[in-house]
Structure 1
Amino acid sequence: MYNFLISPFVEFEFMRRALVGAIALALAGSPLGVFLLLRRMALTGDAMAHAILPGAAMGYLAAGLSLGPMTVGGFIAGLIVAVGSGVVARTTILREDASMAAFYLISLALGVTVISLRGSNIDLLHVLFGSVLALDDATLLLLASIATLTLIGLAFLYRPLVMETVDPGFLASVGNAGGPTQILFLMLVVLNLVGGFHALGTLLAVGMMMLPAAAARLIAKDIGSMIALAAAQGVLASYAGLIISFYAGLPSGPLIILIAGALYLLALAFGPAGGVLRRLRSRRHLEA
């Protein structure tokens, strides 16, 4: 059992690096996903994950697969889309989800086009799907720094975030913290999506945020428990996905997200806080 479950991480440095990077993403991204879910912004997270692509592509066009330019470019692009969609929603008849969808489609198409100007199909696949098994020291340091900054930021924003999630009107009535809280929260989301982009690519980065959060929502009823469960499921999906990919010879990033998806489906069926079976039992009890 030891040889099967532990040996790959002891013998191979690239497996240890992948596990550390994926755990950093899980610990920081999953709690953000809980708040995105509770604030009904799940699709916003998905759109913002794709919105970083043109900025990362510009960094790639300028310096190749270089960590710094692609990170800065992706962060700036994500912020532009997040702020731009809000401005459009407030100055036109379009709602924020419609403007976000428009920006997301434009960003995705622009990013793929920019990468195609200089790179190959291999480079495009690297950007879209990441390379969690090829994390170097600089990328690991970036992921660890993002995770640390995110957890500190969430500790600082926790109370206003919870208040705005549960009762936005109350927070607005007692002060002007709602606007700054939303901006700082979105900055943390973009920062984590940029970090996730380096390991899982733009198409899968949001999966580490939303799937564990959705599963936790079906299991737990209070926000603190949801955050803990989401982070734990993210860590479990990271470990299981890497182990299975090692022995099966399949891509690690997609398998990590598939394991997170399997945990979500289990919660969807058996979750005590809102799973399908619980709902069916409740209806039968009421009918009886």
Structure 2
Amino acid sequence: MALYDLILGPFLEFGFMRRALMGCIALSISGAPIGVFLVLRRMSLMGDVMAHAILPGAAIGFLLSGFSLFAMTVGGVAAGLLVALGAGAIARTTPLREDASFAAFYLVSLGLGVMIVSIKGSNIDLLHVLFGNVLALDDPSIYLIGGIATVTLLSLALIYRLLVAECFDPGFLKSVGGAGGLAHFLFLALVVLNLVGGFNALGTLMVVGLIVLPAASARFWSESVPGQIVASAVIGIGSSLVGLLVSYHGELPTSPAIILAAGAVHALSILAGRHGSFASQALRARHLRG
């Protein structure tokens, strides 16, 4: 009975908990390969930049239509793609490096998005945009997240080899010309799509955590790219489950609870993961001394 009340009861008794879990599972499965490639390509911080880049577009959608899923999604996708293209173009045509260009867009986008939401909405609306409300996911939001997950997995299946090649041999992707550039742009578009899908659940400040934290943790549990993708998805789903339960029983904010659960797994991975953790390095050193 205690196990039912602690773990199963909330999901069996309340539809909003089931929808929240379904949305987080879809986000974890879709965000796992995105996060792994962001980490492998040393673009983890770019995920945070892009998460804030979608804010002005989503805010304009909110300004025009309120909390309209369609308007905020279209606005977020448009703003994210515009920032990705703009930052890349500036980096290619000026001495400014790509990371500095993205940082500039990040700061402007965050300030502009907060300003736009504040014009029409209240502090509660601003908190909803920044931190999301995963417990309020409705059926259209679930369909959107599921659709984005499907598109992401199918698209990554097409460009998987090119992305892996770029991670371990960047010169190769440059040598294949147009195919490499197309793969890079498609990957950035998938990053934007996943951030927009997650934005509806976790908000712009939290969504990147469910993409990057599990992927960073997965590096301590597997050395292969497929293994890291699977481990990242499992960690994301587990963190979502734990975060939802902690939020439900402790009456705590849901999005931060999910991200903190993922952070706890990351700390555990650093300490005791199979590859490169403190524990594995200590065991290896002891073995070499023996």
TM bracket (short chain): over 0.9
What is residue 152 of structure 1 aligned with on the other side? 154
Tell me which amino acid in the other structure corresponds to 1:252.
T
Q: Does 1:101 align with 2:86?
A: no
Paired residues for 1:1-288 under 5 Å? 1-174=3-176, 176-283=178-285
Deviation at 1:167, TM superposition (A): 1.0
Deviation at 1:171, TM superposition (A): 3.1
User: Which range moves more in the overlay, 133-142 or 267-276?
Assistant: 267-276
CA distance in 1, matches of 2:176, 2:67: 47
- 1:13-39 CA deviation, whole Å, 9 max, x = no partner? 000010001111100012100000000
CA distance in 1, matches of 2:100, 2:88: 10
Give the alignment's TM-score, normalised by structure 2: 0.96
Deviation at 1:281, TM superposition (A): 4.1
Task: Quote the RMSD (CA, aligned, Å).
Answer: 1.3
Deviation at 1:3, TM superposition (A): 2.8
Deviation at 1:78, TM superposition (A): 0.6
- 1:26-78 CA deviation, whole Å, 9 max, x = no partner? 00012100000000100111100011000000000010111011000001111
Tell me which amino acid in the other structure corresponds to 1:88.
I
Tell me which amino acid in the other structure corresponds to 2:46.
T
CA distance in 1, matches of 2:242, 2:188: 29
- 1:116-141 CA deviation, whole Å, 9 max, x = no partner? 11100000000000000001111111
Tell me which amino acid in the other structure corresponds to 1:127.
V
Deviation at 1:175, TM superposition (A): 5.0
CA distance in 2, matches of 1:85, 1:140: 31
Deviation at 1:92, TM superposition (A): 1.4
CA distance in 2, matches of 1:214, 1:191: 20
CA distance in 1, matches of 2:156, 2:120: 39
User: Which range moves more in the overlay, 123-132 or 241-250?
Assistant: 241-250
Tell me which amino acid in the other structure corresponds to 1:276.
F
- Total equivalences in the alignment: 288
Deviation at 1:286, TM superposition (A): 5.5
Which consecutive unaligned segments of at least 5 residues does structure 2 have? none
CA distance in 1, matches of 2:10, 2:118: 36
Tell me which amino acid in the other structure corresponds to 2:154.
I
CA distance in 1, matches of 2:19, 2:254: 13
Which consecutive unaligned segments of at least 5 residues does structure 1 have? none
Tell me which amino acid in the other structure corresponds to 1:141.
Y
Tell me which amino acid in the other structure corresponds to 1:39.
R
Tell me which amino acid in the other structure corresponds to 1:100.
F
- 1:196-252 CA deviation, whole Å, 9 max, x = no partner? 100000000000110000000121100000000000100101111111111110011
User: Which range moves more in the overlay, 228-237 or 171-180?
Assistant: 171-180
Give the alignment's TM-score, normalised by structure 1: 0.97
Tell me which amino acid in the other structure corresponds to 1:14.
F
Tell me which amino acid in the other structure corresponds to 2:262.
A
CA distance in 2, matches of 1:269, 1:27: 25
- 1:90-143 CA deviation, whole Å, 9 max, x = no partner? 111111111111100000000000111110000000000000000111111101
Alpha carbons of 1:273 and 1:72: their partners in 2 closer, same or farther (altered >3 Å)?
A: same
